[in-house]
Structure 1
Amino acid sequence: MKKTIRRKSELDAHNRVPRYLQVASALRQRIKNGKWAVGEKIATLETLEQEFQVARVTVRQAIDLLQSEGILRSHQGKGTFVTRVPESRRWLELATDWDEMVRPIKHNVPRFLQIEHAPTLRVEPDEGEPASGYMFFRSIQMRGEDPYALADVYVADHIYNQAPAEFGKHAALAVIAEFPDLEIARAHQILTIGAADVEVAEHLEIDLNAPVAEARCFVTDTEGVLIYLGEIIYPGDCVQLNIELFNRGQNEG
């Protein structure tokens, strides 16, 4: 008996990201990888509909999105053609050491947001001993005119009180890094992948349920006290994580 082999769809049925955005992402990636060159015709609506196992309207929405980005152009009766290769937007490389974490934000000026009530601080068992109190900041990090991160930050009161004016003008981690007599025992960052809720989508100007990278960073002093906790959310399409696992040439040098 001959088996029928079905190709697995590139879409994740359990993903909260809308299906048309998943289709657009898959098509965008194919163009980046050279499946269709500039000037070439992509697959037909019917073919894409069957391949991704979605409705025709979903495919049209995905193509309309890529047309708005200038990547595709549809011609009546002829099909849809590639007009340009999408540029990589992954300009933000998440740091894997202290110096690289501080360097990009050293001269950054956050746009601080006014909030009525600070969220309850949640400290995990391995993140240090809580200080007696914390100052809370919520801010949007900007790249030119574009928001690229939404940050919730807690700074221990005894640290904040040493330079309140600086914490009101600069990224808290960059201020802490400049303290001459502060000895840091541990700085750790955890990265998870999620989806934008209504508030995150509004602040970062992205679609609801769009992929985001969620970084949780904590810093402790030599007494084991948690002096900084940051929960920072980035749009998923601007972030990359680059970790050197092994480099024979570097090791031999």
Structure 2
Amino acid sequence: MRNKQTFNYDRSRIPLYLQVASVMRQRIESERWKQGEKISTIEELETEFGVARVTIRQAIEILREEGLLDARQGRGTFVSGRPKDKHWFNLANDLESVVSSIKNNVIRIVHIEENAEAPSLEENEGRPASGYILLRSVQFSDGEPFVVVNLHLARDIFVRDRKRFTRQPALPRILEMRDIALAHAFQTVTIGVADPETSELLEIGLGEPTADCRLVLVDDAGVALYVAKYNYHRNSFALRRDLLPRPKAAKAARARKKSKSR
């Protein structure tokens, strides 16, 4: 007997079928629905989720296209795979580590806008440059896409090395420019969902969660030279931190060891 759940969709602007697909995807990922297992019937899912049958069919079709479900005529729908779960990318917490983590990334530019509008800036993020180039790219690791980057780069910096900025990550090159002195590097991390273009570029389901990182570099004159938004594939992203400073961690370990010896 399956436990009944009440789903509240009122607060979300995401289409119903994407919300249902997300819940079903999580069930496969957590192995609540195991590989090879037959899932609930469409009628049962319709009742459980409280949505129309067409919505359930749309959700199943999304997961079928992702290779997670297999609808078999006259037999039902079965789990045919699991989402990739690598979580190999750890978000750095200092600029040097950020540069080190991306300098060898393979990038593919998918859009360049030569005279882009200035990005929106928070009060403490400096003032806009005199002009910006918008670079939209997808970056790869081991041949697989893992992040989509929307970068507003100051035009006067871009024209100094146009070839490299369209072939390699921009951040390492900026830090190599000796006449640029950075005063701030603001980083903000949030959770988002994949829009149609991001889902296509990352090869993930529409509406799947993404880890979104915003990075703003401000020079010593107060100009925002680099304003980027990174949309990470959530299955490649992890945020790992030791929440105890080293002395406290060592002290806690000694206390546990002493307690066990009693």
Query: What TM-score comes out, normalization by structure 1 length?
Result: 0.75
Go from structure 1 to structure 2 and tell me whether the alpha carbon gap of 1:83 and 1:241 turns closer, same or farther (over 3 Å shift). closer
- 1:171 matched residue in structure 2: 169
Query: Structure 2 counterpart of 1:23, which letter?
Result: V
Matches within 5 A, 1:17-32: 17-32=14-29
1:187-224 Cα offsets, whole Å, 9 max, x none, are 11123444566766676677776655543211123x35
Kept after mapping to 2: 8 A contact 1:112/1:137? no
Kept after mapping to 2: 8 A contact 1:110/1:171? no
> 1:82 Cα shift?
1.9
> 1:163 Cα shift?
4.6
Go from structure 1 to structure 2 and tell me whether the alpha carbon gap of 1:48 and 1:89 turns closer, same or farther (over 3 Å shift). farther
- 2:189 matched residue in structure 1: 191
> 1:29 Cα shift?
0.9
- 1:252 matched residue in structure 2: 249
For 1:49, which of 46, 49, 72 is the aligned residue? 46
For 1:124, which of 119, 122, 138 is the aligned residue? 122
> 1:164 Cα shift?
5.1
Name the count of aligned residue pairs.
Answer: 244
For 2:99, which of 97, 102, 108 is the aligned residue? 102
Query: Structure 2 counterpart of 1:74, which letter?
Result: A
1:205-246 Cα offsets, whole Å, 9 max, x none, are 77776655543211123x352342323252654563504261
Tell me whether 38-47 or 225-234 shows the greater mean CA deviation.
Answer: 225-234
1:163-205 Cα offsets, whole Å, 9 max, x none, are 5554344322121122356443321112344456676667667
- 1:215 matched residue in structure 2: 213
> 1:99 Cα shift?
2.6
CA RMSD of aligned residues (A): 3.5
Q: Aligned partners of 2:20 and 2:150: how far apart in 1? A: 30
Go from structure 1 to structure 2 and tell me whether the alpha carbon gap of 1:204 and 1:12 turns closer, same or farther (over 3 Å shift). same
Q: Aligned partners of 1:207 and 1:40: how far apart in 2? A: 21
Q: Give secondary structure in 2 for the equivalent of 1:113.
A: strand
Kept after mapping to 1: 8 A contact 2:133/2:158? no
- 1:60 matched residue in structure 2: 57
Q: Aligned partners of 2:26 and 2:247: how far apart in 1? A: 32
Q: Aligned partners of 1:84 and 1:206: how far apart in 2? A: 14
- 2:9 matched residue in structure 1: 12
Q: What stretches of structure 1 of length at least 5 have no aligned partner?
A: 1-5
1:130-159 Cα offsets, whole Å, 9 max, x none, are 45x2442323123247483141322373x5
- 1:3 matched residue in structure 2: none
Q: Give secondary structure in 1 for the equivalent of 2:171.
A: helix
Q: Aligned partners of 2:60 and 2:200: how far apart in 1? A: 24
- 2:148 matched residue in structure 1: 149
